[in-house]
Amino acid sequence: MLIASIQRFCMHDGDGVRTTVFLKGCPLSCAWCHNPETQSFQPELLFHAAKCIGCGACGVCPRGVHGFAAGHTLDRGLCTRCGVCGEACPTEALELCGKEYTAEALLDIVLRDKDFYGTAGGVTLSGGEPLLSEEASLFLKLCRERGLNTAVETCGMVSERLLRGAIPYTDLFLWDVKDTDELRHQAYTGVSCKPILENLLLADSLGAKTRLRCILVKGVNTNEGHYKALAELFHRLQHCEGVEFLPYHTYGDSKAVALGQKSKARTDWIPSEDEISYGEALLRQGGVTVISRRG
| In the chain, domain spans | 2-41+98-285, 44-97
Residue 107 has a pLDDT of 98
Residue 114 has a pLDDT of 95
Asked if residue 282 lies in contact with residue 224, where contact means CB atoms within 8 angstroms, the answer is yes
What are the φ/ψ torsions at residue 245 (nearest 5 degrees)?
Answer: -85, 135
Sign of CA dihedral 216, 151, 243, 117: negative
Q: How far apart (Å, rounded) are the C-alpha atoms in residues 213 and 192?
A: 17
Global pTM? 0.94
The class of domain 2-41+98-285 in CATH terms is alpha beta
Q: What angle do CA 148, 151, 156 make, to 5 degrees?
A: 150
At a CB cut-off of 8 Å and minimum separation 6, what does 108 contact? none
Topology agreement, domain 2-41+98-285 and domain 44-97: no
Consecutive 10-residue runs of the chain (295 residues): their mean pLDDT? 96 94 97 96 96 95 93 94 96 96 97 95 97 95 97 97 97 98 98 98 98 98 97 98 97 94 94 96 97 74
- CA–centroid distance for 257 within its chain: 18
- 102 C-beta neighbours (distance < 10 Å), count: 12
- CA–centroid distance for 138 within its chain: 20
Residue 293 has a pLDDT of 75
Burial 170-195 (b: 16+ CB within 10 A, else e): bbbbbbbbbbbbeebbeebbebebee
Q: Kindly state the DSSP code that residue 166 receives in the 8-state scheme.
A: H
Architecture of domain 44-97: 2-Layer Sandwich (3.30)
Sign of CA dihedral 127, 15, 235, 227: negative
Pick the closest to residue 81 from 101, 102, 54, 63 (CA basis): 63
The one-letter amino acid code at 78 reads L
Asked if residue 132 lies in contact with residue 155, where contact means CB atoms within 8 angstroms, the answer is no
Q: Is 211 helix (H, G, I), strand (E, B) or coil?
A: strand
Residue 294 has a pLDDT of 61
At a CB cut-off of 8 Å and minimum separation 6, what does 185 contact? 178, 179, 191, 192, 193
In which region does residue 277 sit, left (phi positive, over 0), alpha (psi from -120 to 50) or beta (all else)? Answer: alpha
Q: How far apart (Å, rounded) are the C-alpha atoms in residues 100 and 254?
A: 24
